[in-house]
Each structure stands twice: as C-alpha cells, then as structure tokens.
Structure 1
C-alpha cells in the first residue's frame, strides 16, 4: 500500500470532499485507496460482509467525469461510504447478518441508499452486524464476529460493530448504521468514533429490514462530528414511502457543527442525568465523563443536574417491547417467499408440509439470540400475558417520555457516558445474555422516547481503550447535538493535540495487493 493511499484513508470526509471539489485528487484515487486498505486490514477486522469494488470504482469514475465536465455535484460526491447489511441495496447481497437471508439480493434500494446513490457516493460494501441487529457485540453475526481495531481480541460494539470498525480502522471515511437501542452510539463509544441516532422518523426507515419498528433508526457513523452532520443532512428528510416519516425538513445540522467547533457554548444548559452515571459504570468511564463536563463548563455551558426516575425501568421495558415487535417482524422469514428454505428429508415418513418446511427453515436459519428474542416476544404478546408484560412496558415507555419532557424544560441537552464500560473481550459475555443487555443501559431511553442522541469519543479509560460521551436532545432538535458535540470534540482535540483515533495502534496489514475489484 502506498504512502499516498494511506494518507487519503486518514482524511476526514469533509477534507476529502474539499480536495475532490478543488481537483486535488480524484474519486477514483480515493476509492482505490480505501479498497486497498480493506484488502490490507479487513482479514483481521472482518468489518465487511460484501465488498462492492467494481460498483464503487464505476461510481467514482462517473463522478470524476461529471466533475471534469463542470457539473454541479453534491458536496460529498465521490467520497466512499460503507452501509450496514440490514439496509437493502439493489443488486447487492443483503443478509442482516443471518443465514436465513444468505445470498438474498434485493430488487430495490432503501430510501437512504437511493439518496446516497443520487449524491454519487461510491458504496464500498456492506458491513457486518449482529443477526437482525440483536446484540451489543457483533458476535451474533452468522458470518463470524467483527474485531475492535483498538484490540483485535475485543468486541467493536453492536449491533453495528462492522460499520464502526470500518470507520475506526480507516477502511471507510463514512458509514451508515442503525440504532434500535444504542447500536450506533455504543459501537461508537468502544471504537473511538462518532455515532448519531437521529430523531425517530427524521431519516426514512423504508428499506431497513425491521427489527423493532417503533425503535429502529438509521444514522451516520464517522470520525468527526462535522462528517456526521454532512451525512445526516444527505440521508435525512421526509419520505412518503415511510408512514412514520416526519413531514418537516431537518434543522441546519452542518451549520450547527461549524458553530460548535468554535468552542463557545455560552447560554447552553447541559443536564447531567443522575440515573445514567451510577453503579456499573467503570472508574475510567466516569473520570473521562467528569473531565468532559469541566471542558463544557469552561466553554460557557451551564451544568445542571436532572433526574429521570423512570430511566431505571428502561432496560426492562425495552426487552419486552423489542422482542414483541421482533417476533412479529421476523414472521415473514418462513422459507416460503425468499431467502433460505430447508425441506425436511422425509426420513420420518411424514410429508414435507408448509408447516414443517417453515419450522425446519427457521430452526436452521436463525441463531440462538434471535430464537431467544422471538420466544420471549411471542410469550409477551400471548393472550394471557399481553397486558401484564407488553402493555405494562408501553406504560413505562410513556413515563420515560414524560421524564425527557420534564428534563428538557431544565436543560437544552442531556448528557451521560455512552456505555458503562470499555470494549470487553470476545466471548466474555456470550453465555450471559443479561450481562450483554446491560451495555445498552444508557442508550435505550432515547429509542423508547424517539429523541436524538450522539456519542462523541472523549478519551481513553485506564485500560487504554476509548470511551464515549453521550448527548441527547429533544425530538427534531438534532442540531443541538451537533453544536455541543462539535464543541466538545474541538476542546478535546486541542487538549490531546489531535484526534483520539491517532492514538490507536496501527493494524498489521495482511496484504499489499489491491482488493479484487469484482467482489
């Protein structure tokens, strides 16, 4: 891999966009540099499930030709991007990390993919994930785990660990993730990247393979707050194909990020949620959080303490609502219409009825975590237990939404650590689902209420691994995330002398030859 290629992969998306617009570099060069980087390090990281080399280079050459002809292009045109494998992409295998969809090629694009293609961003490939986004570690992928670039023996978070690891390891400057209970923000925290969960309904869910329809939200995964703002503005906005889409324009996110980068937060009230910084949070996580609060205060922010008492019930409510919705959404994967089909061998003398085919297909195609949640969700929705479990969880959800409303009367944004600990070892929590679920304790409330959230890397814990600082804002006020997040980022980088990811160990390269462009 050439030094020039390495340099291109280290640049932010905003810097690459400026260089492309100025004609200092071509999209073909930028895209090839990232494909070479994927070939060199992804055998160790396993961030990707499918590489779109030929398609990405074709898009890049088209961008270069259009730019040379003087055509006005989107600011991010020619900047490569990776897409989580739960987002359908026409003509490209989309598996949701599951054997039950292995080899399925969608006949249409998700709305956000259509927007990416219209803006002419080369799509490098589809990223690894926990099966159907069920997990906090990307160990539940049917195609093997993704590894954290900071320490290959550790998890990169989940379910979107592939997108976060791809960005953290400089395989892609931009990526798309989805966040149902923290699956963008928690991977961001443990990989040292920026992850944003937009306001529910502000980015179209059309074409997202549904896990829990009232919770799922796609959003940006990047290395800087400004890059997230640029990508968020591209993929956001009203979509008539999505009945939950908000029929309003996004607030000015890029402008908010640029304002925040100036480091002045005078007049901004920052609310510290007392229920999201207690038992279970490691000393290193709490220390970095306290230091970040001091920086925000020095920038002019007013720090206030707020209580959201029902947040303590969020985890329990979430793990009733999500499985219930998942059990319904995943009923379509039955071996009858698309994806895997397993036909019983007939050795027992019984006919291969539709019911037996469905049972065999789902038994072979779904992994243990998916089966666990389907069973739990079906039980919670059953006639005798619906009110006691699912109905009660929805009541708790309302109380959490009221907690947010009361807290935002006292503060413009709410803050907490993103995750209670740094990345744990691969395999450490696979046999303890409840311990795995606790990783999302700080991120889940935002999904239950539909409010936006951001994780910004705010330092290293005592073990030398990254931690994240979570910012939450009222619904449709995503611009507040970008102002505060960019300010904290600028203050921290001044303190560190550069981005946090520059302190990550360099990955050993597996090869120096370019990636196979036809993959």
Structure 2
C-alpha cells in the first residue's frame, strides 16, 4: 500500500470508501508515524491508540455492511487539547487539569465521531490557549517540523505540527486571536477560523468567550473545507451559536481550485503595510498578490484606520474574559488541589492550587484582566477596548461594501527560534498582529501557504464577512491551485 500518511484527507477517504485500504490500516500507519517522529516534535499530549483503532474497526464494519459513509469516514484527526473528550485526558496544556478525564464530549468531538473520523489523540498547546508559540505549554514546547529548533506557532502549535510532520491529515484547533491561522502560516499548513458562532463552543474550555472559535486545520484547502462542513452548524447548547446552516464551503473550495477569480475584488489593508513585517514575508505576500491578479482578481487598497488599535484592545478584552473564566479553577470542584492538609483555609488552598497549577503567561493575563475589570478602571480600560472593538467592526463593514474579501500576510515573520521571544511578551504578542482584527469583528479568516522566506513557510490570510466563510475558501483554494502545497524537509 502507498504511504497513506503522505496523502490528503480526501485521498484517504477515497481509499477507505472503495476498500482499497481499511480504516484500521490507515489508522495504524498514522499511529506508527507518531511513534516514529513525535519524540522530536512533541505535537501530542495524549495518543489514544485503543480508542482510535476501535473507531477504525467500527468504520470498516459499517463499510462492510453497506452503510453509507460520510466524506471523511476513516480519516484520522488530531484534536487540540482544549476540547473535552469523554474518558480521554483533557489538560488544556496546564498542570491545573493534569489527568482530568471529562465525563462528556464537546460538540465538535461529537460531530467528528458522527462524521466517521478517527480521533488519534490530543495535541499540545499553549496553556489555556494563551500564547503564540506553544512554548507556554506545561508539558514542553512543540517543535516545527520545518526546523525543530523553531516554534510551530501558537496556541495551537501541536495541531499544526502534527499536520506538517504527517502524523495526521486533519486536526482541530481553536482561534481566539490567531491560534489556528498563525500556526498554519509558520508550518506551511492551512488553518481556518470560521465565523464566530459558526462552530460550537460547547465543551471548549473557555479562554475568552466572546472570541474563542474552534475550527479546522489541514494540509489542503479542500480538506479544511470538508472538516469545516463536518463540525460546523447550529448547536442549541451554545448560546452564541448562529441558527443558520454553514455556507457551502466545500463547493467554494472546489470552485476556487479551478483557478478562476474573475469578478472577485480583494482589498489590501493599508494599515498593515508599515507594521514591521519581515522583508521576506512581504516579498512572498507581494508575489502572491501578483498571482491572485493573474487569476483574475481585482486588487484594491482599503483603509481600516482602527486596525492599528486591535492589538491593545485585544489584550484588554481577552485577559478580562480570561480572568472571569479561570476563576472556576479553584482546587475545589475538579483538577489540581494543593495544600489541603486540613489546617489551611479554603482561600489558602485556592491560592496554593493556582500558584502550582497556572503557568507564568496565564498568571500574567489573569492579573492584567483582573486589573482592567477592577473598580475605577473598568470604564477606562475594558470599556474603552470594547468601543475600539466596535470601531474595528465598522471598518470591516465599510471595507466589505467595496470588496469581497481582505488579504494580508498571516504573520509579520516566519517561525522564530525556540526561546527567542519568551522574555519579551510584547514581541510574542506581535505574532498575532494581522489575525486579531478578525476575532474582534467575528468574521472568518483562513491562512494558506503562499511561499517561503529563508526556507521557511509564509502564509497569506484571507478575511471575509461574517457568514461568508465560502468566500475565503474560494480565494484560498485559487491561490493554492497556482502556488501548490508546501512540503517540509524529511524528518
């Protein structure tokens, strides 16, 4: 059998559907790949070997019985460890939840199972999704398969690294300020943030509830669209879920793959022009813009004057919401409990538990958020940031009256060396400079590889209006059809 780990999800599904390969064979091949390379990549926090093979056997039995299988049946998937999985450890990259096995599946995981995908395990991440490099994981950093001395992005670096290392053809991430798109960009993979509310947050361990958005990660745009279609749609258990069907992202990806963008107007955000992107990133982006023009797209410059304030607004809103959400980790109800020797007060046990269980970046953001929400400062900080968020939304609304989608580099720089930015939080935060506006607005965004700089991947970001996710898939697939996919050095 051909090496299935090098295949796309679409190709693997075809093999399983026709019986050319069994789901068990496909799953075992990926488990073997994980065993061979993950010691160098650290993409996985937990590999569910028994569960994966059991799910694969079930798919094979259903196919043998003549049951109708979905378009991703038998395809392995890696899941970011921010989503609850029944009976499977869910740590969110934190010591405070080490060993916790949830009693229920998140909606995303339920839909993955219903689609017939095979969950390989849980992927590494920055603790509570707070970080841009996966270096803030309590279980050690993940590494970029392009260069294992470099970061794979964050917070979902484990999912992106698993794809780039061919440990899985599909993965799930979550995007609060760029945590799907930015790892996609620096690992040469595809990462899509759906419209906020287009995918369910039920069972997603919350960081920032008005921003968190689970979404698909893949090596091709079509694979990402197929995964998006499988996990998206209304969920009554999520109060922010949009009661509308997912746009036909699969048809859009197939249309884009024809390489025709005639009649599509794309805007380049003027304010992103002087924001310190590396020369190699800018060069790769400009080449991609030329390619999009040749495919028939009309390129115009669009001013979004309030985008320059997105980063500071985000770092008031997100920490404020994190301060509220993480108050539930008190050492009483679940997770870590430290210092309970019978002689300490509840407050002391809480304090000792949080001191031992939370890492430095989580503590930093809790303190920032608590301060921003405190009496006398709420209006000056959190209130003002929400006003800026409204202005950014208005910028997007005005832009989409003139263009179908906006494009930009996904990140200002390529993957940086491990340890290069951990001592300077601001420089770390800049990794999400171009991705944060879409989160504040709530619209969809996708990162697709557009070239190399110094031998490392560069991503192009497509941002679309809310509930127009299909637009970004069409543009991304068209660029992919012209540029091709990226293949990291052999590990």
Same fold (TM over 0.5): yes
Deviations along 1:342-371, one digit per CA (max 9) or x if unpaired, are 01668xxxx311100000000100000000
Cα separation, 2, equivalents of 1:100 and 1:235: 28
2:401 alignment partner, SS class:
helix
Per-residue CA distance 1:46-74 (angstroms, 9 max, x = gap): 00000001110011011011101100011
Q: What's the offset of the Cα at 1:468?
A: 0.2
Q: Which moved more, 1:112-121 or 1:132-141?
A: 112-121
2 CA distance for matches of 1:98 and 1:505?
Answer: 31
Distance apart, 1:279 and its partner CA: 3.1
Alignment length, in residue pairs? 491
Contact 1:344–1:360 under 8 Å retained in 2: no
TM-superposition CA deviations, 1:178-201 (whole Å, max 9, x none):
000000000000000000000000
Q: Secondary structure at the match of 1:206?
A: coil
Match for residue 473 of structure 1 among 464, 468, 486: 464
Question: Cα distance, 1:122 vs. partner?
Answer: 1.0
Residue 72 of structure 1 is matched in structure 2 by: 68
Alignment-derived partner of residue 348 in structure 2: 356
CA distance in 2, matches of 1:322, 1:279: 22
Please list the CA deviations of residues 258-277 of structure 1 after superposition, one character each: whole Å capped at 9, or x if unmatched.
00000000000010111123
Match of 1:506 in 2: 490
Residue 404 (structure 1) aligned with residue 396 (structure 2) = yes
Alignment of 1:308-347 (within 5 A): 308-343=304-339
Instruction: Report the TM-score when normalising by structure 2.
Output: 0.99
Indicate the residue corresponding to 2:83 in structure 1: 87
Query: Could you give the per-residue CA deviations for residues 57-107 of structure 1, whole angstroms, max 9, x where no partner exists?
Result: 011011011101100011111100000000000000000000000000000
Corresponding residue for 1:436? Answer: 428
Instruction: Determine whether 1:298 maps to 2:294.
Output: yes
Instruction: Provide TM-score, normalisation by structure 1.
Output: 0.94
Report what 1:47 is aligned to. Answer: 43
Alpha-carbon separation, structure 2, partners of 1:113 and 1:119: 10
Paired position in structure 1 for 2:387? 395
| 1:210 counterpart residue number | 206
Q: Describe how 1:257-276 pairs up with structure 2 within 5 A.
A: 257-276=253-272
Q: Please, which runs of 5 or more residues in structure 1 have no aligned partner? A: 494-498, 508-519
For the pair 1:24 / 2:10, whether they are aligned, the reply is no
Per-residue deviation, 1:23:
1.4
Map of 1:6-405 to 2, 5 A cutoff?
7-343=3-339, 351-405=343-397
Distance of 2:66 and 2:172 partners within structure 1: 29
Task: Give per-residue Cα distances to partners, 1:378-432, cap 9 Å, x unaligned.
Answer: 0000011000000000000000000000011111000000000000000010110
Structure 1 segments of 4 or more deviating over 3 A? none
> Would the aligned equivalents of 1:212 and 1:326 in 2 still touch at CA under 8 Å?
yes
Secondary structure at the aligned position of 2:306 is classed as helix
Contact 1:195–1:455, Cα closer than 8 Å, also in 2: yes
CA offset at residue 120 of structure 1? 1.9
1:268-319 per-position Cα deviation (integer Å, ceiling 9, x unaligned)? 0010111123231011100111111111111111001100000000000000
Task: Please give the alpha-carbon distance, in whole angstroms, between the structure 1 residues aligned to 2:417 and 2:247.
Answer: 39
Secondary structure of the 2:177 match is coil
Equivalent position SS for 2:277: coil
Cα deviations across residues 145-180 of structure 1 (Å, max 9, x unaligned)?
000000000000000000000001000000000000
C-alpha RMSD of the superposition = 0.8
Q: Which residue of 2 aligns with 1:515?
A: none
After TM superposition, give the deviation of residue 119 of structure 1 in Å. Answer: 1.7
Structure 2: runs of 5 or more not aligned: none
